[in-house]
Structure 1
Amino acid sequence: MPPLFSVSVRGALLAAFATLSGCAALAPQPTLSSFVVMGEDGAGVARVLTAGAACPTIRMDGVDVVMSVRSPAATIAQRPTVSLPKDSKPSAFPVLACEARIPAGTARASVGGQSLPLPRASPERIVVIGDTGCRLKNTGDYQDCNRPDAYPFARIAALAAAWKPDLVVHVGDYHYRENACPADRPGCAGSPWGYGWDTWDADFFTPASSLLKAAPWVMARGNHESCARGGQGFLRFLDPRPLQNGRDCNEAANDGIGDFSDPYPVALGDGAQLIVFDTSSTTYKELAPLDARMAKFADSYRKMEALSRQAPYNIAVFHHPILGFGATRDKSGAVSLLNGDKGLQDAFGTIDPGLMPKAVKAVLSGHVHLWQQVSFSSAHPTQFISGFSGTLEDIVPLPETLPETAQPAPGAMVETLSSWVDGFGYMTMERTDAEQWAVKVWDTEGRVRNTCTLTGSKSRCVKRQVY
């Protein structure tokens, strides 16, 4: 289904409603986006973003309920960001964000006649995507956001929706249009930039619209949603928790609160669950022992371990791969491997040298802009990376056969590795048994490019490399 409004039409509507805000009698206000996010207690939360002055009514099993205001329309004063002040601006959010908890057992829910996808007790078909925004960064990384072949997220979302998933897992990094497109780049000419609604709409809500209608979402937070980047929009629109003053990324003085959140479970039924973990403020560089993040991530690890005791089979969901590889090429052409996220390894390793709770059998991540599977002969969970769904791709291939000494983390002995570099797509997981999943890797033509099996903590793929 095409988006309810194009980016340009949405902008015109918002301008019109801003002009007419003093009028008493207006036609029904447009819903700019409606979707369901899985909450921290595993419940579904309906979210509606509207240009109207009041939240709409949600109908659940024939009963009408007025949705609550999550965040009012506002323009947030310019704050320090990862960019220089001259390359930043205030964040304008001329939209009202509304929400309503969906009681367990609800059979039907709709807003303005638009049906909402409802959580299933035992989702069996899961789409995994990540790193979906279009990169505009004044370090020289400019993606042609206006060209679907260069930025194919809308097509990927539509293909994933057509697969009819029960659940969508986004492993983080929704927002990438941080700086203005240069005047000499027609491929991104006219693109919004910054951290306000217009950019969030162009980078996520418009291209993702078909998939938002298809199934509830699990929304992990990436480093592009840290407070110094797109954190304001993430917390206003996507985070499953109630929005709190001070934990909103509006003021840099509160980033020590806004950049962290506790892990939470999402039940998958039949003894399995996801555990969603916020790693937005980690670093691939080492964390010093007295770095405040060490204590915060260690505390989150303990909470993740406690949550993992609720189910015999756990899949962790966090943006930065702790057990995956990346690769770089120097000026001479030599390729060097990059190991898993060092910040998380430092923090988790102070509690558990194995880095992950024993009941966690697999990890879903993004951050590295490729697809990857790693399984271990040591007692480590399988790592999947699904960071290939829209953002400018990594292009340095991983070796088909790793050097004998290659370990993404100390003691992590690789048994099998599969990868796809420089190709856009999405990943699906279809449950075939209590602790078994059939994994497929799809391209932008809807073709399966690799198949894998995940059984317990071990996985194996048909192809070592996708070309």
Structure 2
Amino acid sequence: MNTSNFLLYVTIPFVLFGCSGLPQRSTEDAALESSWILVGEKNQQIVRVNTNADICPNIIIDSQIYSMQLRAAKATIERRPTPNSISDSKASVFSSNTCEITVPPGAKRVMLGTKVLPVLKATLNRILVLGDTGCRMKKNDHVFQNCSDEDAWPFPQLAKTAASFEPDLVLHVGDYHYRETACPDDAKGCKDSPWGYGSDAWSADFLQPAAPLLSASPWIFVRGNHEECARAGQGWFRYLSPEPYTEQRTCDLEKNDAAANYSQPYAVSLGNDTQIIVFDSAKVGQTAIDQTNPQYLHYWDNFMVVNQLANKSTGMSIFTSHHPVFGFVQYGNNAPTGFGAALQSVLEPINSRRYFPEGVQLALHGHVHNFQALNFVDEQPATFIVGNGGDNLDPKFPKPFPMEIQPAPNVTLKNFSHTNQFGFMLMERVDQQWNFKIYTRKGKLLNVCSMLVAGKIQCEKFGDIGDF
């Protein structure tokens, strides 16, 4: 053990309290910009911090002092090809160092300066699910959300509300970063907002507003299409990916995109009877993938890993990806249509008409900017889409919803619950049964669904639950 570090932390209880008896910020606290714990393969917990200090901080884990390691140094990365024009692009500036350390299995207490970080419990009974949380600033879409108005962009309020529920784990189903191009002069709602793919935009869009919820629970981060390499992939690998940070997996150079845009699935255990399988669908489009496309092989190989993970488990597997396998989307005043053809085109040849392996009994997604709960006549697993965390909401579905529309060939909808209000979902284990509670951004309960038998849910309300 480093003696100087040991002496520093031994004296902390005496120097952190002033005459008023209130805790005082340490020098190390003052340098920290943000901190969180992410959960990776086999429940591996990784502490990440952003610091403006020149060296990484020490951390106390169960009374033992450890030195955090540099993951990614502060840097200015040359402008790379993006979906935006050259005039609407710029270099990515990351103004702080990102440090990390893996938490030893079974750790009970993690302390960073004066802050206690949340660690995983042995059994996880309260899982909070949300997605698509950023504030959209995108010239190509001619959409600039009012990022300073909590009614127009409610994610900061939603994060505070969700933190008050004290979840054991947070599952974000992707799309954290939306501030892609500069706010125009005539869009007052996003005036002076940072933009681009550097740390200032990441901080404004996710790390700052999510802080209360990052402090409340460890997180599983699912990669969305906004985090593919040509967009916010650089921040994804610095901040949220559980993978090691290497030159090939940074999204800094376009030549590495073919590999860096795909990651192998992994599983996180919620206890002896349930696991979550995390799938990277960042590069999925909206149409079926031709088998001659190199992308097809990437997803084929990764879905074979999903099958292996599901078959190894003796309990229920929950599949999560940003893009839905089954769901509905509506563009403007057009009629709703099924969504998921890209992933379906790979899954169906592997697993036939069920699309998923038998062990997968539930699917969780985002991408479509509303809430959907889908229950099927067929053997397909029930599906929740929770893409209503902050970005511009999709249009309301018609009433009554045309139930004859199929989300995939030979897949028949039995029940459908939906709303285009901002909000989140809480999965709660009660007496070995999972219940799913749907809330607005302010914490109003809209609906409760229960998994009564494998792959099937029963909800208290069907149709447009925003009307209740």
TM-score, normalising length: structure 2: 0.91
In the alignment, the residues of structure 2 paired with residue 62 and residue 208 of structure 1 have an alpha-carbon distance, to the nearest angstrom, of 28
Relative distance call for 1:401 and 1:217 in structure 2 (3 A) is same
In the alignment, the residues of structure 1 paired with residue 277 and residue 79 of structure 2 have an alpha-carbon distance, to the nearest angstrom, of 34
User: Does the 8 Å CA contact 1:325/1:337 hold for their aligned counterparts?
Assistant: yes
* Residue from 305, 313, 318 that aligns with 2:316: 313
Match runs of 1:389-428 below 5 Å: 389-404=389-404, 406-421=405-420, 423-428=421-426
SS in 2 for 1:352: helix
Instruction: Please name the residue that 1:245 is paired with.
Output: 247
Q: Given residue 169 of structure 1, which amino acid in structure 2 is its aligned partner?
A: L
In the alignment, the residues of structure 1 paired with residue 398 and residue 237 of structure 2 have an alpha-carbon distance, to the nearest angstrom, of 35
* Residue from 210, 214, 217 that aligns with 1:215: 217
Deviation of 1:244 after TM superposition, in Å, equals: 1.4
Deviation of 1:191 after TM superposition, in Å, equals: 0.5
In the alignment, the residues of structure 1 paired with residue 401 and residue 191 of structure 2 have an alpha-carbon distance, to the nearest angstrom, of 42
Deviation of 1:433 after TM superposition, in Å, equals: 3.9
Q: Given residue 221 of structure 1, which amino acid in structure 2 is its aligned partner?
A: R
List per-residue Cα deviations over 1:239-292 (Å, max 9, x = no partner). Answer: 011111111111111111110000000001022100000000001122122111
Deviation of 1:403 after TM superposition, in Å, equals: 3.7
Are residues 1:36 and 2:37 paired? yes
Q: Which moved more, 1:101-110 or 1:346-355?
A: 346-355
User: Does the 8 Å CA contact 1:389/1:424 hold for their aligned counterparts?
Assistant: yes
User: Does the 8 Å CA contact 1:57/1:64 hold for their aligned counterparts?
Assistant: yes
List per-residue Cα deviations over 1:304-343 (Å, max 9, x = no partner). Answer: 110112322100111001111112244xxxx322212211
Structure 2: state its 5+ residue gaps.
1-25
Instruction: Please name the residue that 2:455 is paired with.
Output: 457
Structure 1: state its 5+ residue gaps.
1-25
Match runs of 1:241-280 below 5 Å: 241-280=243-282
User: Does the 8 Å CA contact 2:147/2:153 hold for their aligned counterparts?
Assistant: yes
User: Does the 8 Å CA contact 1:40/1:241 hold for their aligned counterparts?
Assistant: no
Instruction: Please name the residue that 1:91 is paired with.
Output: 92
Instruction: Please name the residue that 2:232 is paired with.
Output: 230
In the alignment, the residues of structure 1 paired with residue 283 and residue 431 of structure 2 have an alpha-carbon distance, to the nearest angstrom, of 35
Paired residues in the alignment total 435
Match runs of 1:46-445 below 5 Å: 46-138=47-139, 139-311=141-313, 312-330=315-333, 335-353=334-352, 354-404=354-404, 406-421=405-420, 423-434=421-432, 436-445=433-442
Deviation of 1:402 after TM superposition, in Å, equals: 2.8
SS in 1 for 2:330: strand
Runs of 4+ in 1 over 2 A off after TM superposition: 26-29, 398-404
Q: Given residue 166 of structure 1, which amino acid in structure 2 is its aligned partner?
A: D
In the alignment, the residues of structure 1 paired with residue 179 and residue 332 of structure 2 have an alpha-carbon distance, to the nearest angstrom, of 26
SS in 1 for 2:70: strand
Deviation of 1:399 after TM superposition, in Å, equals: 4.4
Structure (1/2) with the larger helix percentage: 2
In the alignment, the residues of structure 2 paired with residue 111 and residue 366 of structure 1 have an alpha-carbon distance, to the nearest angstrom, of 32
Q: Given residue 339 of structure 1, which amino acid in structure 2 is its aligned partner?
A: G
In the alignment, the residues of structure 1 paired with residue 398 and residue 225 of structure 2 have an alpha-carbon distance, to the nearest angstrom, of 23
In the alignment, the residues of structure 1 paired with residue 225 and residue 84 of structure 2 have an alpha-carbon distance, to the nearest angstrom, of 14
User: Does the 8 Å CA contact 1:329/1:396 hold for their aligned counterparts?
Assistant: no
List per-residue Cα deviations over 1:140-199 (Å, max 9, x = no partner). Answer: 111000111111101111111000100000000000000011101111101000000000
In the alignment, the residues of structure 1 paired with residue 389 and residue 285 of structure 2 have an alpha-carbon distance, to the nearest angstrom, of 22
Q: Given residue 336 of structure 1, which amino acid in structure 2 is its aligned partner?
A: A
In the alignment, the residues of structure 2 paired with residue 400 and residue 59 of structure 1 have an alpha-carbon distance, to the nearest angstrom, of 56
In the alignment, the residues of structure 2 paired with residue 161 and residue 398 of structure 1 have an alpha-carbon distance, to the nearest angstrom, of 33
User: Does the 8 Å CA contact 1:58/1:109 hold for their aligned counterparts?
Assistant: yes
Q: Given residue 211 of structure 1, which amino acid in structure 2 is its aligned partner?
A: L
Relative distance call for 1:399 and 1:409 in structure 2 (3 A) is farther
User: Does the 8 Å CA contact 1:121/1:267 hold for their aligned counterparts?
Assistant: no
SS in 2 for 1:287: coil
In the alignment, the residues of structure 1 paired with residue 67 and residue 446 of structure 2 have an alpha-carbon distance, to the nearest angstrom, of 45
Q: Given residue 424 of structure 2, which amino acid in structure 1 is its aligned partner?
A: Y
Deviation of 1:453 after TM superposition, in Å, equals: 1.1
List per-residue Cα deviations over 1:69-97 (Å, max 9, x = no partner). Answer: 11111111100001111111111001111
Instruction: Please name the residue that 1:8 is paired with.
Output: none
Q: Which moved more, 1:75-84 or 1:338-347?
A: 338-347
Relative distance call for 1:329 and 1:94 in structure 2 (3 A) is closer
In the alignment, the residues of structure 2 paired with residue 386 and residue 153 of structure 1 have an alpha-carbon distance, to the nearest angstrom, of 14
Q: Given residue 410 of structure 2, which amino acid in structure 1 is its aligned partner?
A: G
List per-residue Cα deviations over 1:202-245 (Å, max 9, x = no partner). Answer: 00000000000000000000000000111110111000111111
Deviation of 1:27 after TM superposition, in Å, equals: 5.0
In the alignment, the residues of structure 1 paired with residue 337 and residue 93 of structure 2 have an alpha-carbon distance, to the nearest angstrom, of 38
User: Does the 8 Å CA contact 2:403/2:413 hold for their aligned counterparts?
Assistant: no
Q: Given residue 94 of structure 2, which amino acid in structure 1 is its aligned partner?
A: F
User: Does the 8 Å CA contact 1:398/1:419 hold for their aligned counterparts?
Assistant: no
